[in-house]
Structure 1
Amino acid sequence: MKIKYFYQQLASHLGVIIIAFVILSLLFSSFARNFVYENKTEELLSYGSSILNELETNGNSRMVLQSYGHVLGGRDIQYSLFDENSRIIYSTGLKTALIELNEEEWNELQNGKAITVKQEYKRFNQAVTFALLPYFHNGHFGGGILLTSPIKGSRELISELNSYVLYAMGLALLAALLLSSLLSRFHGRRIKRLRAATANVSQGDYSVRIPSSEVDEIGELAGDFNGMVEKLGASMEEIESLENRRRQFMADVSHELRTPLTTIRGIIEGLRNDMISESEKERGLELASRETMRLIRLVNENLDYEKIRSNQVTLMKQEIDLTELLEIIGEQLEDAAEEKGDRIIVSVDGQISVWADYDRLTQVLINITKNSIQFTEKGTIWLRGRSADEGTVIEIEDTGIGMQAEEVEKIWNRFYKAIDSRTTNPYGEFGLGLSIVKQLVQLHGGTITVESEQDKGTLFRIVLPHEK
């Protein structure tokens, strides 16, 4: 159910004011009542102490008692003296012969404690506030004094205070009406702000946001608007990132092609200068042939980044000797590792083969290994392989700078850069990227995970299923 803004503001503010003043009036009334009765009992105790002191000094003088009676009578206070047997020996108000006290009150008086009632109390045939003070003569209880004051005057004072509270409530209600009117205008400005934000979005500003809520239509509209702008901003960022990545990739494509070209050139130079033995020539030619085919695919498909990103890649799976593959990768990246003072160690448990696309798996492993080299200085990088029940396990571990936990969760996002130094990666920032690495691993039906700790290194683990 929707409620118009004017009625929302009117009801809410009036409700708050009324509830607040009801609570405050109750608290104030209670406080005022306690305050009035507290003052009254203190006054009674003060007069009672003065009368007892005067009697103890001057003896049981009727003149003293009468003078105090005149003074207290003007303040509407009566007092009565009684002996140890509760018999009244002098009184200015009570028309009785005995003071009616219960056993507990007598015990308190005899122990030297004063008794007071600070609120309205029906006692001694009238509603009064009263105080009882004990009287001791030579250390023996000799009775006491009772002072009473009718509550009529206190009631009048409390009623007057309450009337002021009611006047204040009326003024507050008027103020609430005025405030509600002002707030209605404020909500009108909310609509204008929404229109201004829409104009900013139409001009390409996707950072604008509007406070939203689900209380009313404007709040819901603001929430929908924020969601729309957020999606538009994300789409525009992705488009801009893709375009920047395309442009930068064309500038850095030479880095992507450097590895296979360097390998092929080295083999050709080695063959030309007879630096490769006869026993190694066949292996060198095979390596050159593979690198040539990989180079052709790099040129044909890596230039079309979207083809890889959208998984439009046909895998040519085959049995690959894992030891040979990891050694080739170690040899290809050995120079890059030496520049950083790193060592690459290849370790494979026995003769293990992996069922995968040679070129794509090579790209995946080179990309991860390059990352390890980039973020490791004077450390060690392990390329390991083993067979497990779930498939062939390939691990790339380094002793580099590692990552924080929040970074580990983000590295698979497209275009994510763990640190600014990625933008100056000498091996090419714009290769496959870890998001594409993950997609290629998933295309193989495998999984890739990462474990990392700040300043202690990173471990990438790839598991590829066995051939079915």
Structure 2
Amino acid sequence: MKFRYLYQLIASHIGVLIIAFLILTLLFAHFAEQLIYEDKTDELVSYGRNLMGDLSEDPGQTRRILGEYGRVLEGRDIQFSLFNSGSAVVYSSGRPASLIKLRREEWDKIRNGQAIIVNQEFERSDVGVTFTLLPYIQDGQFTGGVLLTSPISGSREIISELNRYLLWAMLAALAASLLLGWGLSAFHVKRLKRLRDAASHVASGDYSVRVPSTKADEIGELSADFNEMTERLEESMTEIDRLENRRRQFIADVSHEMRTPLTTIRGTLDGLRDGMIQEEERNRALALASKETRRLIRLVNENLDYEKIRSGQITLEKTEIPLDDLLPLIAEQLEPLAEEKGNTIDAIADSDAMVFADYDRLTQILINITKNSIQFTRDGMIKLRGYMDDSIAVIEIADTGEGIDPEDVERIWDRFYRAGVSRTSNPFGEFGLGLSIVQQLVRLHGGTISVESEKDAGTIFLLRFPPKE
């Protein structure tokens, strides 16, 4: 059987309130009853002591004093009786003296100077009464006692009236709490229903759903966490879709790139085996096969390098490297490649410029970026510059080439990504892995890499490496 959460909340609210009201009502009623009865007994004790005090001060006016007290106490619905030391009634106001018959143990206490107070007495009277029995002491001698009684009907009427007010107050409070509990419960259930519907959308693959969120309570915080989760899921799915598309394109490109050199290698080997290649063409054919083999090896190595870096299998052996030695060496090594494109390559570094890095991996970074600049620059200039920015080693690689489209600048670091169709013929990093490897290696050094480019105005790669700790 399904029990809706709304009804659970309302039932819990009302149940808690009913229990709380019942406990408070019982406690308050008991406290009020005790207070009323104690007030009545205190009143009787006060009148009894005043009466005995007046009788002691003026023994000759006993009748007058008893009459005055009788009239006054009759208006308060209080009767009193005087007893001598033998428990005989010597005076009684109002009702007969037989209203309360004293027991032997009560007289024993009175003779010992103890007062007797009884809040509710039903056994020895035709109506319930509150009575007090006080010892009457004259000149240090016990001479009798005074008994004061008052019907409890008046006290019970006050208590009953108080209980009625408490009952009406409880019913009014329960009605108000029911309305308030219903409203609050419906409000919270509505918020939870929004979360449930949103979760259903997410389960069906819609990660764009959002729910209103606040920091006022836990449900609001849960909504904020839900929105953050869906945002991350949406970003992740977008990235997964993007990577999947690039993966498909990469596989297609690699298949195409591998098919051509493999076809060339196979054709060369078949020609040599069948004697179809003349002796004078044999060296050129072998050189072509060797070139295509190196191309395939480069593809495999780039993939292996990327996976090793990504999985943390690369160990850096850092040393302090002077940039005024390294940068000219890179420029000299790539100068023949730059000349093929009609480019000039220049390197300059401050004499105090030192970078704390792994020599082989830093060389790999610089060659990869510089080759990229050479590939997309024709009849231009590639410049390598090294200097210190406080304790940070900075390397700039700038070219005057074709630049990068604005929408491609942030995506050139992505694996498998190649900006522009013309880059498919790039023999250096043509598989979309070169710059991804560069970025991973720079991060592995604890450094940063950024790029500034303007279409048809050149590109600047900026590398920053932290100092040795």
TM-score, with structure 2 as normaliser: 0.45
Please tell me whether Structure 1 or Structure 2 has the larger radius of gyration of its CA atoms. 2
**TM, length-normalised to structure 1:** 0.45
